[in-house]
Structure 1
């Protein structure tokens, strides 16, 4: 039987109490490999992301023109849920993740959320544990696959590949920061702030699109 929502909230609280987030300012010259020129801040390897300065002119806004920095990712990201039926009920493998800017330390993220192009420059432990299961999935296991633009007030030419991949394996077994939750549990948590991140909310909308012809997604809906 699916875990009750109280148990899910207890797990999230437990993960939050085990993590501390500390933010501090450091000079750019103290960051190895990062360089600044007249228009951007970027890593000398060409990996990760760039901070690009832009001048904007627009009509119908509060002001007619302004200057601002924008984040330009280097390479396409991957955002994916592994999905599995447990006792006939659809579950998604969520990751209790910590990111800069979270108001409450941890939010529930998709199984995988990363930019693969920069991973080879990071320590082995930085590689998402389920990335290979997503990237190497057989075509018949991929239930949703689309590239979405993340354009907006902060991002420039940002594109992510969103996937829902069906699996029969219990990838979350023994992982304290991953857990199988039902669609109904995630929808319930979305009614409150700071529980489900924007990438997971987008993928849940994609999941609903798969069953739009047969009505709203129910907790027991199957992917196939």
Structure 2
């Protein structure tokens, strides 16, 4: 009996939380900060906070360097992260054997957001944070964004603000708690703890923080490079519940009978009954591919990585493709440590991440790709329809051979639902931004797809996103930006 009561109590908590999230997602009116005021505040922080990022040779980086054999680039403490070499072998794609440098950061950090209810609406405490690689300095980050090396103060600096709310479980109610992956082509099996907590107590709001509704955050995600990657991945984990087809149809009839794109996306999010494939069928598809596809990773010393050259100020590919590893000296006035050196990844060009979506059986479905990347934790992750994070997509060969790239690049503007430039994580990537696109195709677009693609509703994507290592960070960033208004 006690166990059943506990289950019922948890079920009620889940429903109440989902309704809180949904109400916040549909609210953009904010008595604390209008969306325009937030944008002006970000611009003001950019003017006020001193930021300087200078490229420097590896030999000038304080506390960083190559070991005697030039096998890796690492911090003298052994903490933070290192740049290692790997050989990758797979049986997928046109290139099945290659070497590359990769970021090795095995520790799990916090990406955490504090929430609080004001006048019945849930608000999110976000930070105007400057990272050395941000294209525009200030972006909106989670309340707490800290690696384990940061929050254990290996850098000898100040403790991150609000850390105690996440480490003291009695302070807050946990609304979401997940381990999620980072960029599989750049990080070696990297994961962070994505967590949202709710407090009922008074909380001090420091200078670089502000309260926003979820609807405002989504509104800001529709603008270029305002909301950082870490906030987007945390927001992507939010679920608004599972409802019957009849309930969703009734809701839409009452609230928006004209059926805007936003309400159609919300219906895809809430409808747990109508889908082209069952959840079990999707699991079978994904498991079957994992048994067919190989991914073998072998550690290499950096000096032995084929086709990559170690110069005095960068590590680069012989054909100047993909990315470079560079060294930077950083000075940011409002950080726990105001000055430091570090290696950082510089892309050779911007990329594109795109979902094709289609109305199937009356519900919007997303065309999802099962993608192998060198740093994946478990061979495959669910990715956008098209994901090219380098300029390689701009040549005719790629347009001809890469599935759906031609359709994405040739999409009529009237069919593009979402189109923004979004930055990758500025602590590890130097001014990297990718075009994020969602394209709604018509009934003539074929539902038949290659073996590593499948149609899924937004509700199904959110179901898989509750668990580790299913949706990659590019897919999570795109679904986070969907507005239901």
The superposition leaves residues 92-141 of structure 1 with CA deviations (integer Å, 9 ceiling, x where unpaired) of 00000011221111110000110352357897699531111101101111
**What residue is the counterpart of 2:321 in the other structure?**
47
**What residue is the counterpart of 1:84 in the other structure?**
358
Q: Alpha carbons of 1:118 and 1:125: their partners in 2 closer, same or farther (altered >3 Å)?
A: closer
Q: Distance in 2 between matches of 1:121 and 1:134?
A: 14
Q: Alpha carbons of 1:111 and 1:44: their partners in 2 closer, same or farther (altered >3 Å)?
A: same
Superposition deviation, residue 57 in structure 1: 5.2
Q: Alpha carbons of 1:107 and 1:148: their partners in 2 closer, same or farther (altered >3 Å)?
A: same
Local SS of the residue matching 2:374: coil
Contact 2:368 2:454 in 1 (8 A): yes
**What residue is the counterpart of 2:457 in the other structure?**
182
1:199 lines up with 2:474 in the alignment: yes
Local SS of the residue matching 1:69: strand
Q: Distance in 2 between matches of 1:197 and 1:30?
A: 26
Aligned residues: CA RMSD: 2.6
In our comparison, the structure showing a higher alpha carbon Rg is 2
Identify the range of structure 1 (1-10 vs 192-201) with the bigger mean alpha-carbon deviation.
1-10
Q: Distance in 2 between matches of 1:74 and 1:109?
A: 22
TM-score by length of 1: 0.82
Local SS of the residue matching 1:71: strand
Q: Distance in 1 between matches of 2:414 and 2:376?
A: 36
- Residue of structure 2 aligned with 1:71, choices 314, 324, 345: 345
1:107 lines up with 2:370 in the alignment: no
**What residue is the counterpart of 1:117 in the other structure?**
391
Unpaired segments of 5 or more residues in structure 1? 214-224
**What residue is the counterpart of 1:4 in the other structure?**
278
The superposition leaves residues 142-184 of structure 1 with CA deviations (integer Å, 9 ceiling, x where unpaired) of 1110001113221111000000011124456241100110110
Q: Alpha carbons of 1:45 and 1:54: their partners in 2 closer, same or farther (altered >3 Å)?
A: same
Identify the range of structure 1 (96-105 vs 52-61) with the bigger mean alpha-carbon deviation.
52-61
**What residue is the counterpart of 1:93 in the other structure?**
367
Unpaired segments of 5 or more residues in structure 2? 1-273
Q: Alpha carbons of 1:38 and 1:108: their partners in 2 closer, same or farther (altered >3 Å)?
A: same
Contact 1:76 1:160 in 2 (8 A): yes
Q: Alpha carbons of 1:172 and 1:16: their partners in 2 closer, same or farther (altered >3 Å)?
A: farther
Q: Alpha carbons of 1:60 and 1:30: their partners in 2 closer, same or farther (altered >3 Å)?
A: closer
Q: How many residues align?
A: 208
Local SS of the residue matching 2:298: coil
